[in-house]
Structure 1
Amino acid sequence: MRDRVAIVTGGGGGIGAEVSVELARRGATVVVLDSGDGLRGEPLGERSAERTVRRIEAAGGRAVAAPISVTDADAVRGLVEETVARFGSLDVVVNAAGIVRFPRIGDAAADVAADDWAALLGVHLGGYLTLLAAALPRMTAAGYGRIVGVTSGVGLARTSVDGPAYGSAKRAVAALTWQLGPVLPPGVAVNALSPIAATRMVTEGLVAAGADPRGLDLSAMPQPEHMAPAAARLASEEFGWCRGRVLFSAGSEVSLIAPPRLVEAVATGGAGAAAALGALVRPVLAPAHAQQRSTGGSNPRSAPLAAAPPDPAGPSGSAEPGVGACLVAGDDRALIDQLAAALAPWGYPTAAVPVGVTGTADAAAGFAAAERGLRRAAASTAGLDAVVVIHGTQAIGVGGQPVVDWPAILASHAGTAATILGHAAWSRAAARHVAATGRALRVVHVVPALTPGGRSAAQAVTQLARSVNDTPITSTGPEPGLLEFAVSVESPHPADRVGLVELVASLVAAPDTASLAGAELVVRPGWLGLRAHPAPAVTASLAGAELGPWTDDVLRDALAPFG
């Protein structure tokens, strides 16, 4: 790290401050970026960046303070230019800036919840995109650079009842990292760190969950300074071989987090999606989701579908006629009509509303509009049992050119936050409806995912669904009050809309598909599938050793089967 120049965001406190100090200790000149805002993003004007600079200078290091916000794109671009002009290069960026808010789904008023969601996505995802857009042109031109994003376990293997917005934003950061890393030019690497430490954010989260702050003792947890060696390793010259990966650090352990990986696939041709789903949900897809692995590789788990005659009574496991209606929020009239036809045999009438302002960056208007739309739909039907939200930056079944370079990947994320906000608006409205009526409701999120930005949005929305499903919202019926599903649509072919609508209809109406709530479902050309959630692929116990060549060898060995 000697003579390297680094920008560390969120460097005024917590993990960011410790990373700044560690990089300076290793010889880097550190630009400490911190706006001085509070944990929730409230403007406090604290001189936190200067405090970290004083710590570094007191230890003999070199540092300067930059009291700006990562959400200020012009200021960030200006800082990058100023850094290069003053110090000759920009070699490292560590994006540790973050805020924390806890909009538990359905609890807060529309304007409060919308502001929380927009603020969290703006700092965690928007700030990361801003830094990447500012730093990567300089780094790619120089042929050298290391960027370390920061994600979180509650956006990966775990969920957070009190933090669905935070978890969704952090999943989007991870998804962007996984897609961006492999396409960067030689010499430039982007990876992400998922830390767990006793920070003020963790304390705030525990208090929000009901803990008494006077009795909290986090001394057994890793401390912020224990995260600095892992961040420094990711930012080092030696770690340039690793690109587009997420590492989890618990101080004494480091884990490689695998992205969602396919574990089951079902053909949508042949017997057809409806027959395949009716036969395979219970013996194939549900166990795979529960165990997060394929349960195949032994005796066949179902009879050949061609040998199973169609049921003249209707879809397998169909509900009795007279169930409540399904509201579809979407702008694709043809797809909505296809879905209505697929739901008709289940006895579900459908009502449709356009996405409208719920799919824009105006979060407050969108959250309020979703609640009004759901309330009107419930009042105009015999009862509402399901909501399907079809929303993204690209139409379903519309092809496009593959995105293969980093500028296009960043550009494709321009509408990602708005897509996540749109789905969150309907989730919140659904939660409030269940809480007010006691009537169970299923919500199916359908996200077009033909671009990198669309795939990041689909992963974030899946994380939203997982968090909502872990939130206790009771109903008067046998099902949980609110069940949410998410489908990533990754086929450009109109023919695959048939498999999509049959999948969505099954998720809406079939009793046995309740076991797929929160699953990472995908529709691809000619098939649909189930992916496992992000999870540790390998963990290295440091046992008092430093991160170095031996941990690199562990990671290389773990990655070898994936190519």
Structure 2
Amino acid sequence: MRDRVAIVTGGGGGIGSAVSVELARRGATVVVLDSGDGLRGEPLGERSAERTVRRIEAEGGRAVAAPISVTDADAVRGLVEETVARFGSLDIVVNTAGILRFPRIADASAEDWAAVLGVHLGGYLNLLAAALPWMTAGGYGRIVGVTSGVGLARTSVDGPAYGSAKRAVAALTWQLGPVLPAGVAVNALSPIAATRMVTEGLVAAGADPRGLDLSAMPQPEHMAPAAARLASEEFGWCRGRVLFSAGSELSLIAPPRLVEAVATGGAGAAAALGALVRPVLAPAQAQQRSTGGSNPRSAPLVAAPPGSAAPAGSAEPAGSVGVVGPAGSAGRACLVVGDDRALTGQLTGALAPWGYSTVAAPVGDTGTGDAAAGFAAAEQGIRRAAAGTGAGLDAVVVIHGADATSAGGEPGGDWHAILTSHAGTAATILGHAAWSRAAARHVAATGRALRVVHVVPALTPGGRSAAQAVTQLARSVNDTPITPAGPGLSGPIGPNGPDGSNGPDGAGGPDGAGGSGGRLLEFAVSAESPYPADRVGLVELVASLVAAPDTAPLAGAELVVRPGWLGLRAHPAPAVTASLAGAEPGPWIDDVLRDALAPFG
């Protein structure tokens, strides 16, 4: 890296400081960007960037401090311009800057969500927008984003905003990498190390700080060689990938991949979901792989005549999902939240035969204006809907995304268009988070089971990143115990069992309904078709997730609706892991990764 110029954000401490020192040791001139704020983003005015610079200079390296925030787009752009003017180029960006707020879903405020998304997603977008024009013009650049395991295979119960933001960073990386010009590479590192963020996270989860011993965990300096490898000239062949580092191990993280698909056009499509959830989709979700490849798992699907009814007392739909409902579902209520009146009307019609009445409400302003007002409006909307039904509220469907009011279609396949399409991604995530928090508080207050279905229009790269982030949100919510607050309720409601039931107390049935053991089940659907005909499949899927007991195991699944079909994708997960001789990934690691990536093209 001799004579290369690097900017490392969050370089004042932890992994960022270790990476800054490592890059300088390898010959790079390092601009250490750090605002000096605290772990939660509170302004402390610490001179942390200068401390790292002194460490580098003490070892004979070259570095300068930049005490600014990644959330200040103008300051970031100015820093990049100043760096190029002073040193002649900008070759490397490593974005380790981050904050963490620890409230669980029911307690997280709009400000918590906005702050976390602003640093992790907004800050990353600011850096990309500032650095990529220089790198693409010069024909060389290495950008290393930072994501987290709790935004990928794992969930984040204490801090769902963090997990959602980190999934959005990974999704952006997967989409951006392949379209960059030759010579410019963007990848992301998912590190695990004994940092202040990990320590305070464990304390927030209830650990005694006096008894914490993280000496067995990888240390921040163990992450630096992996980051340096991603930022090296030799690693430019790898683009748009996420690598997990545990110091002595390095894993390639595969993006969500399709494992099951169901036709939504042609004969049998209307009955497909109801017939295939139990034998096909639920096992695939549980095992995170297709269970096909042997004997057929279901009989051939045959379309039922529109408006056909299930036999008396039947618990299974006899025909079209959304046309036929199970016995005992009459008298239930669903709140449909969205600004697409046509889609809301279709869903109302689809839920009626299941015995559901619907109430409509707007999404509310959570992104471009007053986020706190949007969060408050979501709580008020759920309270009003529950009070207006008389019997209470059983489900909420939230249809929200930057693509929802657009004409649809794919933006140009270049990096400018991808970054532009992410302008509304944080607002979409905020909107869905507001209704998730309101739903969690409603369950805690009433003890009544509630299903929430998030529908994210995902016709653009930004929409697809938002859809993945909202899926991660739903997964985190499903793993979060809800503490009852209503009269006559005591003790926490455990997280969902594998069938969507009420955890240890067993008070509810397999659909999560019933009594003081009420469960909050959340589902997420990425709507990736611009064609009106595919709204039928989308509506049928959503109605089934709202009403059918058998769909409970699909809570938190990566569900997608595409032209002519709907499907289930596996969560991001390690595709291959390499055990290292120390923390330094040598050139042999490239051969391992090339071999692992071969099936992905």
Contact 2:222 2:583 in 1 (8 A): no
Question: Deviations for 1:126-156, whole angstroms, at most 9, x for unmatched residues?
Answer: 0000000000000000000000000000000
Deviation at 1:274, TM superposition (A): 3.6
Question: Deviations for 1:280-337, whole angstroms, at most 9, x for unmatched residues?
Answer: 00000000000000000000000001298999433999779x6450000001111111
Contact 2:250 2:579 in 1 (8 A): yes
SS at match of 1:307: coil
Q: Distance in 1 between matches of 2:138 and 2:311?
A: 60
Q: What's the counterpart of residue 483 of structure 1?
A: 521
Give the 3 Å change call, closer, same or farther, for CA 308–375 of structure 1 in structure 2: closer
Question: Deviations for 1:430-489, whole angstroms, at most 9, x for unmatched residues?
Answer: 00000000000000000000000000000000000000000012776665xx00000000
Q: Distance in 1 between matches of 2:509 and 2:437?
A: 20
Contact 1:367 1:429 in 2 (8 A): yes
Q: Distance in 2 between matches of 1:311 and 1:552?
A: 58
Give the 3 Å change call, closer, same or farther, for CA 140–215 of structure 1 in structure 2: same
Question: Deviations for 1:498-541, whole angstroms, at most 9, x for unmatched residues?
Answer: 00000000000000000000000000000000000000000000
Give the 3 Å change call, closer, same or farther, for CA 524–355 of structure 1 in structure 2: same
Deviation at 1:36, TM superposition (A): 0.3
Contact 2:336 2:360 in 1 (8 A): yes
Give the 3 Å change call, closer, same or farther, for CA 397–282 of structure 1 in structure 2: farther
Give the 3 Å change call, closer, same or farther, for CA 210–317 of structure 1 in structure 2: farther
Give the 3 Å change call, closer, same or farther, for CA 209–433 of structure 1 in structure 2: same
Question: Deviations for 1:173-222, whole angstroms, at most 9, x for unmatched residues?
Answer: 00000000000000000000000000000001101100011110000000
Question: Deviations for 1:75-98, whole angstroms, at most 9, x for unmatched residues?
Answer: 101100000000000000000000
Contact 1:323 1:385 in 2 (8 A): no
Question: Deviations for 1:351-401, whole angstroms, at most 9, x for unmatched residues?
Answer: 101113246452211111100011001000021000000000112794324
Q: What's the counterpart of residue 220 of structure 1?
A: 216
Question: Deviations for 1:93-120, whole angstroms, at most 9, x for unmatched residues?
Answer: 0000000101201xxxx99611100000
Are positions 1:549 and 2:584 aligned together?
no
Q: Distance in 2 between matches of 1:522 and 1:560?
A: 25
Give the 3 Å change call, closer, same or farther, for CA 316–33 of structure 1 in structure 2: farther
Question: Deviations for 1:401-451, whole angstroms, at most 9, x for unmatched residues?
Answer: 443000110000000000000000000000000000000000000000000
Give the 3 Å change call, closer, same or farther, for CA 304–422 of structure 1 in structure 2: same
Q: Distance in 2 between matches of 1:351 and 1:141?
A: 53
Contact 1:439 1:477 in 2 (8 A): no
Contact 1:36 1:47 in 2 (8 A): yes
Q: What's the counterpart of residue 414 of structure 2?
A: 405
Contact 1:274 1:315 in 2 (8 A): no
Q: Distance in 1 between matches of 2:99 and 2:523?
A: 27
Contact 1:439 1:476 in 2 (8 A): no
Q: Distance in 2 between matches of 1:334 and 1:310?
A: 20
SS at match of 1:433: helix
Deviation at 1:5, TM superposition (A): 0.2
Q: Distance in 2 between matches of 1:56 and 1:185?
A: 32
Give the 3 Å change call, closer, same or farther, for CA 191–372 of structure 1 in structure 2: same
Contact 2:157 2:479 in 1 (8 A): yes
Give the 3 Å change call, closer, same or farther, for CA 486–69 of structure 1 in structure 2: same
Q: Distance in 2 between matches of 1:408 and 1:45?
A: 36
SS at match of 1:356: coil
SS at match of 1:56: helix
Contact 1:314 1:346 in 2 (8 A): no
Contact 2:92 2:143 in 1 (8 A): yes
Please report the RMSD computed on the Cα atoms of aligned residues, expressed in angstroms. Answer: 1.9
Give 5+ residue unaligned stretches, structure 2: 317-328, 484-506, 512-519
Deviation at 1:549, TM superposition (A): 1.6
Deviation larger for 267-276 or 393-402? 393-402
Q: Distance in 2 between matches of 1:316 and 1:193?
A: 55
Contact 1:23 1:232 in 2 (8 A): yes
Deviation at 1:250, TM superposition (A): 0.1
2:338 to 330, 335, 351: 330
Give 5+ residue unaligned stretches, structure 1: none
Contact 2:424 2:462 in 1 (8 A): yes
Contact 2:270 2:303 in 1 (8 A): no
Contact 2:102 2:158 in 1 (8 A): yes
